[in-house]
Structure formats: C-alpha cells, structure tokens
Amino acid sequence: MDTTILIVDDSATVRKVVRRVVKQAGFAIDDFLEAHHGRHALELLADTTPRLIITDINMPEMNGIELIEAVKNDPLLCSIPCVVISTEGSREVIDKVLSLGVVGFIQKPFRPEELAPVIAPYLGMAMAVADEGGDF
Amino acid sequence: MDTTTDPLVERAIEAAVLVFEESLFVTLERVDAASPMAGETVHTVIAFHGPHEALLHLRLPWPLAAEITADFLGEGEPEEALVLDACGEAANMVAGRLVKALSPEERRYTLEIPTVMVEEDTPLAEGCCEVSTGMQPVHLWLETLEPEPPSNARG
C-alpha cells in the first residue's frame, strides 16, 4: 500500500498547514489527498485506500463524525486509522468520536509537535530517517 | 451594556491575543478605544453554543489579513480565497480557545462553521473592542444570541 494520507477539512488553509506539518515531521509520504468535506472524502475513498485519514469535525455537507461512521461501517475501509484535528471541543463530541475508534484527537490550534507522535504509529516505515549525521 | 467590561468579552480578547501570538505569529495589544476601520476589511462571524450563546465577530484590515495568511502558510502573496479561508480559520481558533477557557473540564460548548465577508469602510459595531499589532487594528465583539422561543409560542 502506498503511503497516502487523506486530509479532510473545509479550510484549505488547514489542509495546507497539516500537509506541511506532516512533511516537516520527516514522514516519507507518497501522496496527499485533500477533501473539503466528508462526502468528498468518501468519493476519494472509493478509488484509494490511504494509510491514514486526518479529519476535521465541523464541515458542511457531511461532517467528520458522519465520515468516520461511514468509514468504520465499511468493511473495506474500517481498518484505516482516523485522527481528528478540530476546534470542536465539547465533551459530547469528543466522547462520540473516541467511541468510533479514532486513534487520536487533537484540538486546534495545535502545535506541530503534537501531531507527529499521534500519527507515527500508523505510518510504519513511512517515518523517514531524518537524523542528520546521527549514529545507527 | 458596556461590553468592554463584560468578562466574556475580556476572555474573548485573551483568546484572540493567544491565538494570534501562538499560531499566527502576531503580537496584539489592547487599545483603549476602538476606531472605525477604513478601506477593505475581512469580517468573520462564528457562533458558539453552550452556557453562553453568542456570535463572535472578528474584523481585520485586508492588508493584515493577507499578511497573516502568508505567514501562516509560509508562502508568498496569497490568493483572495485563501485569505478569506485563513481568516475563517483564525476566528474558528479564537472561538475554540475561548470556549475551552470557559469550560475546560466539562467542555459544554459547540461551535458552528464560520462565515467570512469582505466589507469596506465599516462603522464601528456596538460593543466593539480593538487590539492592535502596533500598526494595524483588529476588532472583536460578541453578539448575544437570544434563545429560540418554544415551538408552541408561534400559535
């Protein structure tokens, strides 16, 4: 499987920032897919199986909770880990997304160093050797 | 109501100062009295719901909005659509920081999707507070939402 990450957020700014943060963290990513809401993400998922989905919650058309529910209910997609990055911070919503089996919940605004440890376990060998001159 | 002394407004200003400093790389300082903004501005509105129900308004002069967008993305001069998008996200982060501060443990607030408008030579809104980069102003105010009447009140 290629190391593709699907970033779902209605803000193009956030999609760009997340993409940059992932790259700067040293992960070797083959491709980034971007969707501006949940329905758009599902259309992309019909053709591609990404290694990881990073999604917002509050989006038009189909929100992040509905997207995660759809992914987890699809036998072909249910094993894709999902990470939520959102300003949405209500206890009810956090509990709901955690109950759906997301592997991480990061509240915006977030620091770049918060994201890498959450996504690293699900990118496996995609973690590039970014050690500059370090020992092996 | 003098919103400049409203504790909720003060919390919103604190949230904005923190978000602008930590995420948008802009230091803001409180200004005693707000002045109307001339020229093109970007006005973002986001609703939050919980123990307080309100609209948070954030208005930036266009040059500051463009500068913040460029710095946030680490790119050159951004397209207009991206400036509007970044301002929406800035308001989203300010509102997120505000409601987290208002209910850090119980987390009783939800947010709506922000709306963003470009306006020109806008008058000062009621209850508007101003913070400043030293060169450019940022306006912030809250608009309390009235609770919806019971459905049977419509007769």
Mean pLDDT of B8-20: 94
The answer to whether residues B145 and B53 touch, using CB atoms and an 8 Å cutoff, is yes
Q: Could you say which residues from 68 to 87 on chain A have a Cβ atom under 8 Å away from some Cβ of chain B?
A: 87
pLDDT at A74: 96
| A36-40, A114-118, B41-45: the lowest-pLDDT one | A114-118
- Whole-angstrom Cα Rg for chain B: 16
pLDDT at A136: 29
Using a CB–CB cut-off of 8 Å, the residues of B that contact A are 19, 22-23, 50, 69, 72-74, 81-82, 85-86, 88-89, 92-93, 95-97, 99-100, 106-113
In a domain, B109, yes or no: yes
Short-list A51, A60, A57, CA closest to A119: A51
Q: Can you tell me whether residue A11 is helix, strand or coil? A: coil
DSSP state of A80: S
Q: Can you tell me whether residue A34 is helix, strand or coil? A: strand
- Separation CA A54–CA A45 (nearest Å): 13
Select the residue from A87, A111, A115 to test the B interface by mutation, using most B Cβ atoms within 10 A: A87
Is the pLDDT at A128 greater than 70? The verdict is: no
Mean pLDDT of A85-113: 89
Give chain A positions within 8 Å (CB) of B116.
none
| A14-28, A82-96, A114-128: the lowest-pLDDT one | A114-128
Is the pLDDT at B41 greater than 70? The verdict is: yes
pLDDT level of residue A123 (50, 70, 90 thresholds): confident
pLDDT level of residue A1 (50, 70, 90 thresholds): low
The amino acid that residue A37 corresponds to is H
Q: Which residue has the higher pLDDT, B141 or B4?
A: B141
Mean pLDDT of A16-23: 91
pLDDT at A109: 83
CATH of residue B134's domain is 3.40.1550.10
Of the candidate CATH numbers 3.40.50.2300, 3.20.20.140, 3.30.300.90, 3.40.50.300, the domain formed by A4-126 belongs to 3.40.50.2300
DSSP state of A6: E
Is the pLDDT at A133 greater than 50? The verdict is: no
Is the pLDDT at B4 greater than 70? The verdict is: no
pLDDT at B72: 86
In a domain, B38, yes or no: yes
Is the pLDDT at A38 greater than 50? The verdict is: yes
pLDDT tens-digit readout, B96-153: 999 999 988 888 899 999 999 999 988 899 999 999 999 999 999 999 987 666 555 4
Q: Can you tell me whether residue A15 is helix, strand or coil? A: helix
- Separation CA A95–CA A99 (nearest Å): 6
CB A13 to CB B106 under 8 A? no
Is the pLDDT at A20 greater than 60? The verdict is: yes
pLDDT at B45: 98
- Domains of chain A, residue spans: 4-126
pLDDT at B134: 92
Select the residue from A11, A13, A61, A106 to test the B interface by mutation, using most B Cβ atoms within 10 A: A13
Q: What is the tally of structural domains in chain B?
A: 1
CB A11 to CB B92 under 8 A? yes
B76 class by beta-carbon count within 10 Å (0-12 exposed, 13-18 middle, 19+ buried): exposed
3 state SS for chain B: CCHHHCHHHHHHHHHHHHHHHHCCCCCCEEECCCCCCCCEEEEEEEEEECCCCEEEEEEEEHHHHHHHHHHHHCCCCCCHHHHHHHHHHHHHHHHHHHHHHHCCCCCCCEECCCEEEEEECCCCCCCCEEEECCCCEEEEEEEECCCCCCHHHHC
Long-range contacts of residues A114-117, Cβ cutoff 8 Å, at least 24 apart: A115/A18, A115/A21, A115/A22, A115/A25, A115/A83, A115/A85, A116/A21, A116/A25, A116/A26, A116/A27
pLDDT at B6: 86
Of the CA atoms within 13 Å of residue A17, those in its CB half-sphere come to: 28
The answer to whether residues B50 and B8 touch, using CB atoms and an 8 Å cutoff, is no
The whole domain housing B121 covers 3-144
Is the pLDDT at B1 greater than 50? The verdict is: no
Which percentage of chain B shows pLDDT scores above 70?
Answer: 91
In a domain, B153, yes or no: no
pLDDT at B103: 86
Confidence check on the interface: ipTM exceeds 0.90, yes or no: no
Is the pLDDT at B27 greater than 90? The verdict is: yes
In a domain, B154, yes or no: no
Distances (CA, A) of A53 to A33, A122, B18: 9, 10, 29
CB within 8 Å of B2: residues ≥ 6 apart: none
